[in-house]
Amino acid sequence: MSDAPAPFLRPTHPQRRRRRSLFARAATRLFRVVPLLLVPVAAWLWIDGTTFALARVETEGSPRITPDWIERALAPELGRNLLSLPLERVRDRLEQHPWLGRVEARKELPDRLRVVVEERVAAAVLETDDGLFFVDPEGERIAPLAPGDSAGSLLRVAAGATVTGISPALATSEAPSVRRALALERSLAEAGVPEWSVPLLWVEVVGDDDFRLYAGELPFSILVRSQGLARRIEVLERLRPDILERVEAIAEVDLRFESRVIVRPGDPPALSKESVRAAEAVEAVDGEAPGKSTRSTLWDPQPKET
């Protein structure tokens, strides 16, 4: 038997491939494309239906931004698709509340939106020609005091205040004025000042670095500057007994100058008829009205040697 390869033989009558009909080819292609079209359509119908429609808003409010208010603010979004809801739009709706500070919104599928808010912190109450306003630590207005609101222990600040009223020039720098007043409050709280000088109750900003303070148990106001405030309070503490002894009624003490302390007397208390007659009798004898000084007095802040 020979090991030679068999010769290649071409079929004398090759079979012809049977061509599929045009309809069959179109049907095959259609069956391949339809599933690709049905998947996004089904997904769209599922997403756009009620499966992901916003049905509940769960909130954690604050004393001023209540859960009821949050739900009312977001009521227009109920029933809308949660997946396509922009969280920025949620914040825009909540920013209608002046006390809104920080807001955290989170989608919880399939139909719930969780909202947590933090309200702005009031640092002082600002007195202006427009009324009273809560302000934040940056000196920016938050909201006016509504009926029933209380300032509590918050510092009262009159920005641009003068003897004749609010100065328009200073009122334009309202926020910086409030920040300077708050800095004075911190300075007094941190320094070892006498108990009668704290807490700081009210600050009138009368200049770029001039302040009228009403503090603690003092029955009169003091004029100060921001530099060396605690040291000037110590000077007043040293001179206070002498001032109270010599001046019957004090309107204000000016501590802005290093070399002197200026005391401006106020109106003396009203006297009874008997006291007036007695004073007139003494004046007729001595030729001088009794009582303590009612003129502005200068005190040397330096302690005297004994």
Is residue 269 included in any domain, yes or no? yes
Residues 56 and 109 in one domain: yes
What pLDDT score was predicted for residue 217? Answer: 84
Do 63 and 114 fall within a single domain?
yes
CATH number of the structural domain spanning residue 97: 3.10.20.310
Residues shown for the chain = 306
In a domain, 243, yes or no: yes
Q: Is residue 56 part of a domain?
A: yes
Whether residues 30 and 114 share a domain: the answer is yes
**Surface-to-core class of residue 211, CB atoms within 10 Å of its CB (0-12 exposed, 13-18 middle, 19+ buried):** buried
Domain termination residue (choose one: 82, 103, 120): 120
Domains of the chain: total: 3
Over its length of 306 residues, how does the chain's per-residue pLDDT go in tens digits? 556 665 555 655 555 666 666 666 666 666 666 566 555 655 555 555 577 899 999 998 889 999 999 999 999 999 999 988 999 999 999 999 999 999 999 999 889 999 999 999 999 999 988 889 999 999 999 999 988 888 889 999 986 545 545 555 455 588 998 999 999 999 888 887 888 888 899 999 888 888 999 998 888 999 999 888 889 999 999 998 888 888 888 999 999 998 899 999 887 655 444 444 444 443 443 444 444 444 555 555 554 443
- Tell me which residue range forms the domain holding 296: 225-306
For residues 107 and 33, state if they share a domain. Answer: yes
Chosen domain end from 86, 120, 154: 120
Last residue of a domain, one of 165, 192, 218: 218
- Are residues 87 and 147 located together in one domain of the fold? no
**Residues 279, 295: one domain?**
yes
Comparing C-alpha atoms, which of 106, 111, 109, 158 is closest to residue 130? Answer: 158
The answer to whether residue 7 is domain-embedded is: no
User: Does residue 289 share a domain with residue 270?
Assistant: yes
**pTM given for the model:** 0.69
* 282 in a structural domain: yes
5 found inside a domain? no
Query: Is residue 21 included in any domain, yes or no?
Result: no
Residue 131 lies in a domain: yes
Give 223: exposed, middle or buried? Use CB within 10 Å, 0-12, 13-18, 19+: buried
- Specify the long-range contacts of residues 214-217, CB closer than 8 Å, at least 24 apart: 215/188
Contacts of 171 (CB under 8 A, 6+ apart): 128, 129, 159, 160
